[in-house]
Amino acid sequence: MSKIIGSELKNMPWEPRPADCVMPVWRFSGNPIIGRHALKRSNSVFNSAVVPFGDGFAGVFRCDSRSVSMDIFPGFSPDGVHWNIREEPVHFLGDDPEVTAREYRYDPRVCLIDGKYYLTWCNGYHGPTIGLGWTEDFETFHQLENAFLPYNRNGVLFPRKIGGMYMMLSRPSDTGHTPFGDIFVSQSPDLKFWGCHRHVMSTVKGDESAWQSTKIGAGPIPIETDEGWLMIYHGVINTCNGFVYRMGCALLDLEQPWKVLCRSKDYIMAPWESYECMGDVPNVVFPCAALADAVTGRIAIYYGCADTVTGLAFTTADTLMDYMKENSL
């Protein structure tokens, strides 16, 4: 059995696997958990990050307005399912207005490291790059220097230092809807200066695993297990009907996370339900957060559906490990 390295999370949302489920990841019966009109002016709420906080949960949510302005908003929940999202976006404090000036913000992740909740997001700075900030209470937020030059997306921190260094996954991109993209990892001694960039994994050309043939990107914060870092990611294929986003998983070496130990050949989840197939951007499941219970091995995945609403899905560490090993590239 695979063991999650971490804390017990008794109150995380959970539903058992349906008897007729043929996939390693199964959907919450009450999906979508956050509708597109959760805020007074929201057009869509999706691609959002969730973490345990206090006796419940907190998060940062991508909410596009009815003017289709992209920004990130704090929210709180007693159970991880029912959410109260603030009507005002995150306001970052910082010493340099060149850094805190806002162009756009979207697709956040949240990672607890040494008592602080660090945010990463796609930040507009003469093109998309990785914004970085922190909070201790989801009320006051502090912005740090952007991690990279444009153009970059899907910045995902590891939840602890590795070899004395902070580590961040990312996917170099371009100014538009990038038709390419591999996953890289970068290192930093102080969350300000990033280097020692290493290639993690590429897209898969041909039809061996065509669902991830166009681009890939890291999803939730990697989950530490006794076998390695469990990384859930999205993969994209370009079809005659446009991009289709699915989920996969990979196992990375604990001390050298640019080394891939195992990787799913088959996807673990795909846009099958109506709320995933129909929306502002159809045929998208996009994972951004995962809760994990070290005692039971349970995992709850928060994901964006068709760039419109937020869904919740479940699996276990053992289920993903077994599926990945049986269907490995």
For the stretch 270-314, pLDDT in tens is 999 999 999 999 999 999 999 999 999 999 999 999 999 999 999
Asked, as a colleague might, if the bond just before 257 is cis with ω within 30 of 0, I would say no
Specify the length of the chain in residues: 329
Distance CA 31, CA 43 (A): 18
Domain ranges of the chain: 26-326
Which parts of the chain sit beneath pLDDT 50? none
Distance CA 203, CA 214 (A): 6
Report percent pLDDT > 90 for the chain: 97
User: What's the CATH number of domain 26-326, 3.90.480.20, 3.40.1360.10, 2.115.10.20, 2.160.10.10?
Assistant: 2.115.10.20
pLDDT at position 94 is 96
Distance CA 265, CA 207 (A): 11
pTM to 2 decimal places: 0.98
pLDDT at position 217 is 98
pLDDT at position 54 is 96
pLDDT at position 171 is 96
Tokens matching residue 158 = 């590891």
Q: Which residues contact 107 (CB under 8 A, 6 or more apart)?
A: 47, 62, 121, 122, 153, 154, 286, 288
265 neighbors 232 (Cβ within 8 angstroms): no
